[in-house]
Homo-oligomer: A and B are copies of this chain.
Amino acid sequence: MKKMTMADIAKVAGVSKTTVSRYFNGGYVKEETRQKIEKIVKEYDYEPNVLAANLKANKTHTVGIVCPTLTSYASSRMMMNIDQFLKKHHYATIIINTNHDELDEIKSITKLTQLRVDGIILLATSITMAHRDIASKSSVPIVFMAQAYDDGVSVINNDYEAGYKIGEYIYSNGHKNVVYAGVSRKDVAVGVIRRQGVYDGLQNVHPHFLETDFSAEKTIDKLNDYLKNHTCPTAIICATDTIAMGCMKVLKDHGLRIPEDVSVTGFGGYWTSTVMSPALTTIKFHYAHAGQTAGQIILDMIEEKEVERATLIDFTFIEGESVRSI
């Protein structure tokens, strides 16, 4: 009988050759597919030793990080922690910035693969069909950060619980006229899940949604416009600390006091909040832990160990002086 090749197994299983390669290298493969390949391997008594040895060789001890921006506090903290963790484990890190360009995220994964990194950590802004496509074909293990990826491995903030905590806090402080300053639904973690947490925590209070982006500049424009045509809310829940800083600037420019006239909250727990006046009530995600966790997971994947598919990163509620009870 002719010796079975990896291509043959792929053909029989109806999957790609790289999926079979990932199967043998301990990379992530859907449970259903895994069982299918396993069955064929047993049936044909396939011996993958040579292949596995080839693929194991030629490690560069380098991990690539793809990030949407270099100027976000959250991304920077996570990357610093990934980098420090990997350095301790004798891995180098190279970073590619995508400027919030989805197409660039895909191109960057290809570029890092060409540079022969051993693994990739993607700080994703959204997960599109193109992401799924490249992730399923990638010969290099990928960890998704910040956005849940149901077909692979991800490290994500506990956005729903964090949002719920803030929503509940504003509700329990008696606010009824609430604005939620958030981002587009394309960012599932912040635009959908964090927002849903806030809305659920607010119980029967329905906030007005003010759509902005992650910049203070756009937030300033949007809130100025809003205040022209609406009564001033008693509380503004902001999807990030940067958005909160933009709102606080507008409120101050309008001669409104925080929290006497308007309460403001953020998400992030950036240290500048502590020097801000008043101190911002916010949520601090555990960025150091997130970075170390992603670092450990990508090393485990490179070393072909079993990993959790989704790891939730916890948070701390920080009560500042920017919310009053009414």
Contacts from A to B (Cβ < 8 Å):
69-71, 73, 76-77, 79-80, 83-84, 87, 92-97, 99, 111, 115, 216, 245-246, 248-249, 252, 271-272, 274-277
Report the Cα distance A275→B253, complex, angstroms.
10
In the bound complex, residues from chain B placing their C-beta under 8 Å from that of A96 are 92-95
In the bound complex, residues from chain B placing their C-beta under 8 Å from that of A252 are 275, 277
A94 & B115 in contact (Cβ 8 Å cutoff): yes
Question: Dominant SS at the A interface?
Answer: helix
Report the Cα distance A274→B252, complex, angstroms.
11
A80 & B97 in contact (Cβ 8 Å cutoff): yes
Q: How many copies does the complex hold?
A: 2
B271 & A216 in contact (Cβ 8 Å cutoff): yes
In the bound complex, residues from chain B placing their C-beta under 8 Å from that of A99 are 80, 83-84, 87
Report the Cα distance A111→B95, complex, angstroms.
13
Q: Which of B70, B83, B248, B275 is close to A76, meaning CB atoms less than 8 Å apart?
A: B70
7 residue pairs from A and B, CB less than 8 Å apart: A70-B70, A70-B79, A94-B94, A115-B115, A249-B275, A252-B275, A276-B276
Q: How far is the CB of A291 from chain B (nearest CB, A)?
A: 11
Q: Which of B69, B84, B272 is close to A245, meaning CB atoms less than 8 Å apart?
A: B272
Q: How far is the CB of A66 from chain B (nearest CB, A)?
A: 11
Report the Cα distance A73→B271, complex, angstroms.
13
Q: How far is the CB of A107 from chain B (nearest CB, A)?
A: 8
Are A275 and B275 CB-contacts (below 8 A) given A94-B96, A111-B92? Answer: no
